[in-house]
Each structure stands twice: as structure tokens, then as C-alpha cells.
Amino acid sequence: MARRVAHPARSARDPSEEARFQDLIARCQQGDQAAYEALYNAVASDIYRLAYSLLLHPQDSEDVVQEVMVYVFRSLRQFDPKRGSFRTWLYTITVSRCRNARRRKWLPTVALSSLLSTKSEPRAPSSQSPEAAVAWRDACESIERALSKLSPRLREAVVLRYGQGLTYREMAEVLDCPQKTAESRVRLAHEALRNSLSEVELGLLEEFGSA
């Protein structure tokens, strides 16, 4: 596979990160209490972002992070580094729990009204002026609204790819599908997102995307 486009998000295959995870896991298994908290701190934010991007609901996302971490702590011995990275293992569990959460509780596909009442405040880069912060939030809302219109499968693909910076190979692992399928889901998600974002919204995104 050729080199992928440079991405701001961390790759799931960062070797130094994986080494650090291995070290923490080993310490957890030796009963090092601080290692559990360190492991949580290393991954919880990414797990939350993933859950939130899939469920678009703060409380449900918190529940998923909690379930995932409890499961992971109990199952550390089951993690086999030869089969894949710790991060892809975490994401596999998280995606699975999010699917369950969606089944448990009906979440509308087009959820604007509920999104407006429950969504977490998108946080703007701290150096921005109040006007810029408002514009940033509007831009985030339009992305969120467009995401909410995607089918769950397409949403998973685009969120893993761009929200978490996974390669298609890693996505295939997490989603348990052929790599070609992962690629075509991302492509379909692009088309759908482009169609659902209005011209105004695209202009708004442009303003920040290029900044």
C-alpha cells in the first residue's frame, strides 16, 4: 500500500505509542495501580471522541467509555500484540459497544432537534476571538449535523479514518471487513457529506479549514 495522506491525528500504528502501551499493560498485570490510571489517561479521550462521533450523544458516550474501560481492564490478558495493536483492539471494542448502545436505545438518524438540546459544547482553539469561536462552533455543528445523516456504517468508516487517523488496513481490522470495503465506505461517506453540507456551510468550513 502506498503512503497515505499526512494526517494530524495519531496513527494507530505509532510504534513508540504501542511500546508504551505494552509497558503499561505489563505493569497493570503486575498489580501496579498507577499503571491502570495511566492507561486510562492515555486512551480515554480518544475513546470518548470515537464514541461521541458515532453516537452524537454525550451521556451515551460516557457510558460506552466506562463499559469499554472496565472490559479492557478485566481482559488485558486476552490482548495479543501479535494480532494487532492495542489501539485497534480498543477501537474494535468501542465500535462494538457503540453498536450495542444504538440497538439498546433508538437514536434517530436525523437528530437535529435532540442534538441541539443534548450535544456537548464543541471547544474552539483557545486563542480565538469570541466571533471566531462562534464561527468555529457553527462549523462544528454543521459537520455534526451532516454526520448525523450518515448511515451508521458510513459514519464508522469516516470517523475512524479522519477522526482517529486509521489506515484502511487498520479500519478493516476494526470493522472486520475487507480493506476494499472500508475504502468504499469512506468514499460513499464523502459523497454523502458533500451533498448534505450546504454551500454556506462549506464556505464556513473553508474559512477554518484553511486557517
Partner 1 sequence: MFLRTDDDKTMRCRDIRRQLHAYLSGQLTPAQRLRIGRHLAQCERCYAAFQAELATVRHLEAYLPALGRPSAAQLARIWQNVKAQTRQTSARRADSRPAGALLTLTLALVCAAFIFRGSLSIAVAAPLPPSPAIARATATLLFTETPESPGVASIRPTASLTAAQARLPSAAPAPSARKP
Applying CB under 8 A, the span of 15-23, 71-79, 108-116, 126-134 interacting with partner 1 comes to 71-79
* 45 is a site residue for partner 1 (CB under 8 A): yes
Q: How many residues does the chain have?
A: 211
Beta carbons within 8 Å of 20's beta carbon, 6+ residues apart: 42
Q: Which amino acid is at 113?
A: S
* 40 is a site residue for partner 1 (CB under 8 A): yes
Q: Which of 12, 24, 93, 157 binds partner 1 (CB under 8 A)?
A: 93
Closest contact distance (angstroms) between CB of 9 and partner 1 is: 5
Binding residues for partner 1, rule CB under 8 A, total 79
* 84 is a site residue for partner 1 (CB under 8 A): yes
CA angle, 183 then 146 then 204, to 5°: 110
Q: Which of 19, 105, 108, 187 binds partner 1 (CB under 8 A)?
A: 187
Tell me the backbone φ, ψ of residue 9, rounded to 5 degrees: -75, 155
Closest contact distance (angstroms) between CB of 29 and partner 1 is: 7
Q: Pick from 94, 84, 71, 109: which is nearest to 21 by CA? A: 84
